[in-house]
């Protein structure tokens, strides 16, 4: 029975890992909305580029 402090070591390890995990959102409402809109604009641009690329190659397949 050489497991005297195994539980304590595991608890310390889990607390350390939990401290490194991402917490709640720290942005304010306006910052969050601005970030969300910026990301949406990027995705719209990507989608437009993908649609344009898809439109160019549509007539070449058999």
44 in any annotated domain:
yes
Calpha distance 48→52 (Å, rounded)? 6
Write down the number of H helices and E strands in the chain. Answer: 2, 0
Q: Which residue range forms the structural domain that includes residue 34?
A: 28-54
Please list, residue by residue across 19-52, b when 16 or more beta carbons sit within 10 angstroms of its beta carbon and e when fewer do: eeeeeeeeeeeeeeeeeeeeeeeeeeeeeeeeee
Please tell me the total count of domains within the chain. 1
With respect to residue 60, please indicate whether it lies within any of the assigned structural domains.
no
Note the pLDDT of residue 34.
95
The CA distance from 62 to 56, in Å, is 14
pLDDT tens digits, one per residue of 2-58:
677 899 999 999 999 888 887 777 888 899 999 999 999 999 999 999 999 998 876
- pTM surpassing 0.75? no
| 11 found inside a domain | no
In this predicted structure, what is the pLDDT of residue 58?
A: 67
């Amino acid at each position: 029975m050489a497991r005297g402090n195994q539980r304590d070591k595991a608890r310390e390890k889990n607390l350390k890992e939990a401290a490194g995990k991402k917490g709640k959102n720290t942005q304010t409402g306006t910052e969050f909305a601005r970030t969300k809109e910026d990301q949406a604009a990027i995705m719209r641009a990507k989608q437009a580029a993908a649609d344009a690329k898809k439109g160019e190659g549509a007539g070449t397949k058999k």
